[in-house]
Amino acid sequence: MTTTPEHDARIATMTFSSVYPHYITKVEKKGRTKEELHQVIKWLTGFNDSKLQELIAKKATFKIFFEEAKLNSNVEKIKGVICGYRIENIETSLTKQVRYLDKLVDELAKGRKIEKILRT
């Protein structure tokens, strides 16, 4: 399934800080912690807590967020469907990266073990 240019543009201009509180709510509602969420984000992006807070404070778009990220070398192991899209079939790089993050947050909220989420 391919995404539309409008969909990709909307994702590129969306700020990480607008979505981040929803990630926290989602994982905490299912008994997981903010620290576990940060562990997952760090694995994907290489960001430590201070860098994450800096990006939130400056209201970085997802485009900027992922331009500054150093994606984990095992990122291609993230597969499956999220938000109606099969991740491995998404052609736009940024949209794929955002869906990687969405998928990891979803796995965390569903109670999957951290070791499995981090593809270790």
Q: How confident is the model at residue 96 (pLDDT cuts 50, 70, 90)?
A: very high
Judge whether 119 lies within some domain. no
Domain count, the chain: 1
Residue 33's domain comprises 5-111
**How many C-beta neighbours within 10 Å does residue 117 have?**
21
* CATH number of the domain within which 80 lies: 1.10.8.290
Q: Of how many residues is the chain composed?
A: 120
The amino acid that residue 76 corresponds to is: E
pTM for the predicted model, two decimal places: 0.93
List CB contacts of 34: < 8 A, sequence separation 6 or more.
24, 27, 28
Judge whether 116 lies within some domain. no
CA-based nearest residue to 2, from 97, 85, 114: 85
Q: Worst-scoring range by mean pLDDT, 46-50, 84-88, 96-100?
A: 84-88
C-alpha pair distances (Å), 95 with each of 3, 13, 50, 90, 110: 8, 11, 25, 7, 22
100 has a pLDDT exceeding 60: yes
Q: How confident is the model at residue 1 (pLDDT cuts 50, 70, 90)?
A: low
Judge whether 85 lies within some domain. yes
